[in-house]
Amino acid sequence: MRAASRVFSGLGTTIFTTMSALAAEHGAINLGQGFPDDEGPDDIRAVAAKAIMDGPNQYPPMMGMPQLRRAVAAANKRFYGLDIDWQSEVMVTSGATEALADCLIGLLNPGDEAILIEPAYDSYRPIIEAVGAKVVTVALEPPHWSLPLDGLEAAFSDRTKLILLNSPMNPTGKVFSRAELDAIAALMIRHDAYAVCDEVYEHLVFSGAAHIPLMTLPGMRERCLRIGSAGKTFSLTGWRIGYITGPANLMAPVAKTHQFVTFTTPPPLQLAIAWGLEQDDAYFAQLASSLQAKRDRLAQGLAAAGLDVLPTDGTYFISADFRSLLKNKEGFNGSDDEFCREITVKAKVSAIPVSAFYADPAKAPQHLARFCFCKQDAVLDDASARLKAYAKGQGG
Ligand code: PMP
Ligand code: GLN
């Protein structure tokens, strides 16, 4: 038999699917894969239900429903002051996952280099490698996840086509600072590079932190493709609606990719998300403040269980260092992958090992687990209590 794609046949099942399956098998509370444990907002779902009955239900325009493209352009203006032409500079995709693939396939040629900042979301690398481009990584430094500017500079070369920037960042909860964005922008200009900006958590940012799209910095408007996700912004991860904002000349090849990947995305859902994006600022602020309270609730529960919780300024996620459970050398003493499996089976709470976000396990931290907090309060409390009981059994 002829071999299939080297990149994809060598890949395992994603860590998110793997841990969700393990959680289900052991009846564990699933704080692994990032998704809210409710059905999402009633009002947006009501708009979608009506749109399914009233139509349209046939192929929408390839770039997306005009209502949603206009709403995305208006949201860019309202939240970030960006002037965007909705017709040539906005495209709707089937989730940010498709948007990422479209951008990478649309921009990269074989032999180009693409910079990833580790820990990095798992879908980036395989797409880059499948088109024959090379991944160059720069690793953030835990526990503060600072960006090493010398390492960043060393990652750029005259073959750098793009950098992939995820802010607010999964799994760290880091929101990149203005100074870090300035440094990235300066290197992009020096090396004539683009940025694919994964900003799916743009509205899930907590007090004290501010999300600044790289695209708003001087010289960046023409170099950035900015990706949003209705799944995250409206707690509807199963709907698969994403959107890309970018200059028309970059959008053109990205749209050519989209036309042969999914071509379009369900029009009634697009209309409902357009309605959502038109809601007032309080609508967005309410989601962020409710998530912030959940972050604090789970942080307290994890700390009470004896875990060393790292700060998180955005996203659905909080990381914890579990070496603190190793009191009197009796507690857990394995890798992060082993820890996440152990607590799934024994504590009946599952999490994601942070090392899964690194290509080379030898370079990854082995002592951090990522917990998802976009769950009902009672579920978070139950998970904390289970972890506390587990830790107690460990001598912690
Ligand atoms: N980027 C990051 C950093 C994510 O965490 C996720 C999903 N959790 C995605 C992209 C994909 O988003 P979507 O569900 O809209 O495809
Ligand atoms: N991005 C989600 C997470 O980090 C998972 C999405 C997926 O399973 N593909 O948990």
For residue 55, the enclosing domain spans: 42-282
Q: Which CATH number do you get for residue 209?
A: 3.40.640.10
**How many domains does one find in the chain?**
2
170 CB less than 6 Å from ligand 1?
yes
Q: What is the pLDDT of residues 197-214, one digit of tens each?
A: 999 999 999 988 999 999
Question: What is the pLDDT at residue 394?
Answer: 76
User: Is 341 domain-assigned?
Assistant: yes
User: Is 128 domain-assigned?
Assistant: yes
Question: In terms of domains, do 84 and 139 share one?
Answer: yes
Question: In terms of domains, do 170 and 294 share one?
Answer: no
Question: In terms of domains, do 185 and 259 share one?
Answer: yes
User: Is 329 domain-assigned?
Assistant: yes
User: Is 66 domain-assigned?
Assistant: yes
Q: What is the pLDDT of residues 325-372, one digit of tens each?
A: 876 566 778 999 999 999 999 999 999 999 999 999 889 999 999 999
Question: In terms of domains, do 266 and 184 share one?
Answer: yes
Name the residue of 72, 232, 244 to mutate for ligand 1: max ligand atoms within 8 A of Cβ.
232
Q: How far is CA 317 from CA 42, 84, 239, 243, 373, in A?
A: 24, 31, 21, 22, 6
Q: Which CATH number do you get for residue 323?
A: 3.90.1150.10
Question: In terms of domains, do 171 and 78 share one?
Answer: yes
Q: Encoding tokens for residue 82?
A: 């960006």
Q: How far apart are CA 280 and CA 18, in angstroms?
A: 38
User: Is 305 domain-assigned?
Assistant: yes
231 CB less than 6 Å from ligand 2?
no
Name the residue of 15, 92, 97, 201 to mutate for ligand 1: max ligand atoms within 8 A of Cβ.
97
Q: How far apart are CA 348 and CA 333, in angstroms?
A: 18
User: Is 381 domain-assigned?
Assistant: yes
Domain boundary among 247, 265, 282: 282
Domain boundary among 282, 315, 332: 282
Question: In terms of domains, do 131 and 233 share one?
Answer: yes
Name the residue of 19, 33, 170, 354 to mutate for ligand 2: max ligand atoms within 8 A of Cβ.
33
Q: How far is CA 306 from CA 191, 366, 386, 394, in A?
A: 46, 18, 12, 11
Question: In terms of domains, do 72 and 88 share one?
Answer: yes
User: Is 1 domain-assigned?
Assistant: no
Q: What is the pTM of this model?
A: 0.97
Q: Which atom of ligand 2 is nearest to the CA of 170?
A: 4
Q: What is the pLDDT of residues 141-161, one digit of tens each?
A: 998 999 999 999 999 999 999
Question: In terms of domains, do 11 and 135 share one?
Answer: no
Considering only CA atoms, which of 368, 70, 44, 374 is closest in space to residue 203?
A: 374
Distance from the alpha carbon of residue 164 to the mean position of ligand 1, in angstroms: 13
Distance from the alpha carbon of residue 100 to the mean position of ligand 1, in angstroms: 9
Q: What is the pLDDT of residues 82-113, one digit of tens each?
A: 999 999 999 999 999 999 999 999 999 999 99
Question: In terms of domains, do 142 and 241 share one?
Answer: yes
Q: Out of 40-44, 205-209, 291-295, 378-382, pick the least confident.
A: 205-209
Domain boundary among 282, 308, 324: 282
166 CB less than 6 Å from ligand 1?
yes
Q: Encoding tokens for residue 270?
A: 């697009």
Is a pLDDT exceeding 80 seen at residue 7? yes
Mean pLDDT of the chain, nearest integer: 96
User: Is 345 domain-assigned?
Assistant: yes
Question: In terms of domains, do 169 and 296 share one?
Answer: no
Question: What is the pLDDT at residue 328?
Answer: 57
Query: Which sign, positive or negative, has the C-alpha torsion 89, 91, 96, 102?
Result: negative
Distance from the alpha carbon of residue 39 to the mean position of ligand 1, in angstroms: 18
Question: What is the pLDDT at residue 326?
Answer: 72
173 CB less than 6 Å from ligand 2?
no
Question: In terms of domains, do 103 and 209 share one?
Answer: yes
Distance from the alpha carbon of residue 95 to the mean position of ligand 1, in angstroms: 8
Question: In terms of domains, do 291 and 359 share one?
Answer: yes
Q: What is the pLDDT of residues 373-394, one digit of tens each?
A: 999 999 999 999 999 999 988 7
State the pairing for strand pair 224-229/242-245.
antiparallel
